[in-house]
Amino acid sequence: MAASSAFMAGSHVWVEDPDDAWIDGEVIEVKGDEIKVKCTSNKTIVAKTSSAHPKDTEVPPTGVDDMTKLAYLHEPGVLQNLKCRYDVNEIYTYTGSILIAVNPFQRLPHLYDMQVMKKYKGVALGELSPHPFAVADSAYRQMINESISQAILVSGESGAGKTESTKMLMRYLAYMGGRVDNSEERSVEQKVLESNPVLEAFGNAKTVRNNNSSRFGKFVELQFDQRGRISGAAIRTYLLERSRVCQVSDPERNYHCFYMLCAAPKEEVDKYKLGNPKTFHYLNQSNCIELDAINDSEEYLATRRAMDVVGMSQEEQDAIFRVVAGILHLGNVDFAKGKETDSSQPKDDKSRLHLKTTAELFMCDDKALEESLCKRVFVTRDESIIKALDPDAAALSRDALAKIVYSKLFDWLVEKINVAIGQDMDSKFLIGVLDIYGFESFKTNRCLTGMLCFRHLRELLFL
C-alpha cells in the first residue's frame, strides 16, 4: 500500500498511466496529498500520493526469478518484474512455491525436452530456474516422501496458457512415474493425450481471447502404486459452460463439434439432415462461423479417428452425432401462440419439420417431444397438474432441453474416455492437476446464475 509520508523529492515511484497501466519516475515536488513526478518517458505528471507506489531501484534489469526477492510486492513491481523477464525470454517466475507463467505465444521446444526433464529430477524447488517441471517434481517427491496424494492448481484468464502448462506437468509426472516393465503398451500420458481431441471437440470453443478455449474445468488424476509408478489415470470435468449451447455472442463460436458436423463428408451431412451452419439458430447468433486456423472438415475426421482410438464403436459415434445434430434442429423450433390462452405450438411448417427431425435423431416420439416443450407438469402430493406454456416459456424450455442433453452427452463422453484410459481403483496415491478457466467479463453475461456459482466455486477452491 502507498504511504504518502514515504515520498519526498528524489523518491523513485510508480504512478498510474492511462496507456501503460503504470509508469515510473522521480518525485520532484510534494504538495499535500499530491506529488509531481518526472517520468522516465520524460513527461511530468501530478498524482495523488495514495495512488502512487514506491519503486525498488535495486531490481536487476533482467528481473528476479522469485517475486519474494522484491522489496515491494505491489502491482507495478510484480508487472515490471514479469515484463523484464519476458523481455529476455524467461516466461516463468516464482512467488514462493507458486509458479507464474506468461504465455510466450510461440513454441519454445528447448524448454521442455528430455534433457530439461532430467535436469529437474530430484532438485529442490527454487534451485533451478522456475519451471512447471520443478513444480511437478516437488509434488512427486512430496507424494513419495510423505505418502500423501498431491494436487496442483492451474489457474488464469482464458488464453493464459493453463492447458499448455497442464500438459507440461503431466508430461513430467508421466516421465517420473513411467512404467518400465510394460514398454509395449501405450503410456497413460499417451492415452490421456489421445483423448484430448474428443474432449476438445465437445468442450472447447472459440472465444474472444482463445480460438480453442476449454469451456470446462478439468481435473486430471494420475494414479500411482506404492513404488511411485503410474498405475492409471482419470479425467474429471467440471462446470461445462452449458449456456454456450444455445447462446453465442459475436465474435465467438458455439462448441467446435457443431461446426465440424456441418462440415463432415456429404453423406454424413445428409444423414443428419444438416447443411450450412448459418441456417441454425444456435450457430447463427454470431457472425463467426469459420476460423482461419481451423479446418472443420479435417477436425471432424480427426475427432472420428480419436473416437476410434478411445474405443468408441461406430454405433456409439453415430449416436453421439445424432444428438449433436438433434440439438441443432431443436434450436430451429420456434413457437407461436396456441389455440388456448397462454399456450403455444410450433410456429409453422418449418418449425414442425425441425421438431420432427429432432425427434427422429433423438429417437423419441415427436408428439411427446412437442408436449414436453409446450407444457409443464407440476407434480403435487396427490396429483400431477399440466400447465400450458406461452411461446416465450416454450422457447426457454427448448433451450433448457438442449443444454441438459448436451451436458449429459459430454458427461457420457468423459466416462467413456475414462474407461479407455484405465483407472486404477486400488491406487495408493494420486497427483491431481486442476485446470480451471478463469474470470471473464462479457458485455452481457450469458448466464448470470451460472457465472455466480462458478465464481463461488472458485473462491472455495482457493480457500
**Residues in the site for ligand ATP, rule: CB under 6 A?**
103-105, 107-108, 156, 158-164, 210, 212-214, 437
Q: Which is nearer to ligand ATP, 22 or 216 (CB)?
A: 216
Three-state DSSP at 84 gives helix
List Cβ neighbours of 292 (8 Å cut-off, separation of 6 or more): none
Q: Is residue 438 annotated as a catalytic residue, yes or no? A: yes
- Report the distance separating Cα 186 and Cα 174, nearest Å: 12
* Residue whose C-alpha is closest to residue 438's, from 157, 99, 153, 214: 157
- Give Cα 97 distance to the centre of its chain: 23
Q: Is residue 158 annotated as a catalytic residue, yes or no? A: yes
Residue 333 — φ and ψ, nearest 5°? -85, 115
Q: How far is the CB of 211 from ligand ATP (least distance, A)?
A: 8
Q: Which is nearer to ligand ATP, 108 or 114 (CB)?
A: 108
Q: Is residue 210 annotated as a catalytic residue, yes or no? A: yes
- Report the distance separating Cα 368 and Cα 372, nearest Å: 6
Q: Is the dihedral of CA 290, 291, 293, 295 positive or negative?
A: negative
Residue 161 labeled ligand binder: yes
Q: Which is nearer to ligand ATP, 288 or 319 (CB)?
A: 288
Q: How far is the CB of 131 from ligand ATP (least distance, A)?
A: 11
Given the residues 34, 90, 316, 440, select the one marked as catalytic: 440
Q: Is residue 207 annotated as a catalytic residue, yes or no? A: no
Q: Is residue 214 annotated as a catalytic residue, yes or no? A: yes
Q: Which is nearer to ligand ATP, 112 or 406 (CB)?
A: 112
CB 16 within 8 Å of CB 2: no
Residue 450 labeled ligand binder: no
Given the residues 81, 138, 165, 213, select the one marked as catalytic: 213
Given the residues 210, 358, 397, 427, select the one marked as catalytic: 210
Q: How far is the CB of 294 from ligand ATP (least distance, A)?
A: 11
* Residue 408 parent element (H or E): helix 391-421
Residue 159 labeled ligand binder: yes
Contacts for 298-307: CB closer than 8 Å, 24+ residues apart:
299/201, 299/256, 299/260, 299/263, 300/260, 300/261, 300/263, 300/264, 302/197, 303/197, 303/198, 303/201, 303/257, 303/260, 305/197, 306/194, 306/195, 306/196, 306/197, 306/198, 306/201, 307/198
**Count of C-beta atoms within a 10 Å radius of residue 144:** 16
Residue 156 labeled ligand binder: yes
Q: Which is nearer to ligand ATP, 99 or 401 (CB)?
A: 99
Q: Which is nearer to ligand ATP, 172 or 362 (CB)?
A: 172
Residue 163 labeled ligand binder: yes
Q: How far is the CB of 444 from ligand ATP (least distance, A)?
A: 19
Q: How far is the CB of 164 from ligand ATP (least distance, A)?
A: 3
Residue 9 labeled ligand binder: no
Q: Is the dihedral of CA 107, 298, 261, 218 positive or negative?
A: negative
* Whole-Å CA distances, 13 to 3, 43, 72, 77: 11, 14, 11, 10
Given the residues 95, 155, 158, 445, select the one marked as catalytic: 158
List Cβ neighbours of 331 (8 Å cut-off, separation of 6 or more): 246, 280, 281, 282, 398, 399, 402
DSSP per-residue letters across 447-458: -HHHHHHHHHHH
* Residue whose C-alpha is closest to residue 331's, from 244, 263, 399, 255: 399
Q: How far is the CB of 360 from ligand ATP (least distance, A)?
A: 35
3-state helix, strand, coil in the chain (%, to 5): 45, 20, 35
Given the residues 49, 163, 343, 358, select the one marked as catalytic: 163
Residue 90 labeled ligand binder: no
Q: Which is nearer to ligand ATP, 138 or 163 (CB)?
A: 163
Q: How far is the CB of 108 from ligand ATP (least distance, A)?
A: 5
Extract the annotated binding site.
156-163
Extract the annotated binding site for ATP.
156-163
Q: Catalytic residues, which ones?
A: 158-159, 163, 210, 213-214, 438, 440
